[in-house]
Each structure stands twice: as structure tokens, then as C-alpha cells.
Amino acid sequence: GQNIDQPTEMTATEGAIVQINCTYQTSGFNGLFWYQQHAGEAPTFLSYNVLDGLEEKGRFSSFLSRSKGYSYLLLKELQMKDSASYLCAVRDRAGQGGKLIFGQGTELSVKP
Amino acid sequence: DSGVTQTPKHLITATGQRVTLRCSPRSGDLSVYWYQQSLDQGLQFLIQYYNGEERAKGNILERFSAQQFPDLHSELNLSSLELGDSALYFCASSVARTGPNYGYTFGSGTRLTVV
């Protein structure tokens, strides 16, 4: 089966750091993606990990441990505009048949 | 503009009716994916097409069908609509050839309301 778990909601303060965790159990694995989605809008790509370790991209970093089926998204210097849903997704196969399987999303509220 | 075009943006229709949602993928992308997002739900994978052929199927209802045309645009047909079909329907496209790629790009979605 396919199972991707992430917390439903998180709250953080402007300027702080927040870590959103994601655990997965999928029948196949060919990369883990993080997307940001504002209410009623399209998901937008944030980061991609296929090998273990940390990928840094400005204020956003993402970590992957394939042996533990675990990833996190780290957001630094939080801004009010970072209030959104953060979606963890696993690509189940490489190439033409691969699709993204999404978790339920973590609703992040950034408070002043 | 992500390069993935979905029409219409909004659709209101009655129960029992049939609607068609349209998606034009980003230029050069051969794969199209359809997702459904109900209120407070995650993105549920429905179906994938690659270069005109169905490649993967998720929890798509029998009342729903899709196809991808030679020009690579795709249509999702929803019939015998029920209130529970009200949702945001997203299309995404990707190159989906070999090797890692970042190219899962989403359209702005079609908001379907069944009344």
C-alpha cells in the first residue's frame, strides 16, 4: 500500500524556524518532493530529494533518509507569506509510469 | 503562469450531469496527470497519460474517464455527477522520460461545484 504521513497543522512565529516532517511507506520510491500550496491555488514546487542528505535552497531545506522512510522540510526566517499548506509527495517509479503520491498536507500558520 | 493551462476555471452544474475538464500541458511535456482535491483532503491521483496512452490509474471512479489527444492536450470527463464530486481538479504535466526530473508542473485547477 501507499502511506504518506505528515502533521495536519503547525503554527510558528514570524522570523522563526519550523520543521515539517514526513514519513512514507510506498511500494516504490524514485524521489521525494515538497510542494507549497496556498488555499485554492495550484501546488508549486519547492524541493526534490532522491539521495540521502540535505538539499538547501535559500530559506528552504529538505532532508531525506531512505532507510527510515523519512523526510523533513525546514523553513528558516519565516515570513507571513509562508502561511500555506506544505505537501510531501513520493514519486513511485522512474520514467514514464512514475506518478506523485501526496500526503494530506501540513497547514502552516505563521503568526506575527 | 506555470505553462499548464486548465479550462474552465470554475464550473457549476447539477447532479446527474456530465462535464468535461480540459488540460493543455507545458510545451514539451509528454505526460499528463489528473488529481482531485476535495475540501480538507490531499491531492488524490486519478489517472496518468503518456504520449496518448494510459500509463497509470489511481482511485478513479467508473463514472470518470480521460483521454490524451495527438496534440497532447487531455480531457477528463465526469458523468452522473454527485454532490461528493465537488472538488478542485488539477492537471499536472511532466517530461517523464528517463532520469530524475523536477518537471511536475501543476495547472491552476478547475473548481467543480455540483448542486
pLDDT digit string, tens, across residues A93-104: 876 668 899 999
Residue A65 dihedral angles phi and psi, to the nearest 5°: -125, 105
pLDDT of residue B28: 83
Name, in order, each residue with C-beta under 8 angstroms of B113's C-beta and a sequence gap of 6 or more. B10, B11, B12, B13, B86
**Beta strands of A38-105 (E only): which ranges?**
44-49, 53-57, 60-65, 70-75, 84-91, 100-102
Check pLDDT > 90 for residue A1. no
Q: For A5-27, how does the pLDDT look when each residue is reduced to its tens digit (9 = 90+)?
A: 999 999 999 999 999 999 999 98
Q: Does B61 touch chain A (CB under 8 A)?
A: no
d(Cα A81, Cα A78) in Å, to the nearest integer? 8
Show residues of chain A in contact with B35, CB under 8 Å: 102
With CA atoms as reference, report the closest residue to B33 among B8, B54, B63.
B54
Check pLDDT > 90 for residue B27. no
Q: For B36-94, how does the pLDDT look when each residue is reduced to its tens digit (9 = 90+)?
A: 999 877 899 999 999 999 999 998 999 999 999 999 999 999 999 999 999 999 999 98
Q: Is B28 left (phi over 0), alpha (psi -120 to 50) or beta?
A: left
Percentage of chain A with pLDDT > 90?
79
Check pLDDT > 50 for residue B98. no
Contact A45 B111 (CB under 8 A): no
Q: Does B45 touch chain A (CB under 8 A)?
A: yes
pLDDT of residue B102: 59
Contact B2 A100 (CB under 8 A): no
pLDDT of residue B79: 97
pLDDT of residue A97: 66
pLDDT of residue A27: 87
Name, in order, each residue with C-beta under 8 angstroms of A70's C-beta and a sequence gap of 6 or more. A21, A22, A23, A24, A64
Strands B5-7 and B10-13: unpaired
Q: Which three cell numbers stand for residue A68?
A: 527510515
Show residues of chain B in contact with A33, CB under 8 Å: 104
Strands B10-13 and B110-114: parallel
Check pLDDT > 70 for residue A44. yes
Q: Which three cell numbers stand for residue B62?
A: 467508473
First to last CA, chain A: 41
Residue of chain B minimizing CA distance to A41 = B108
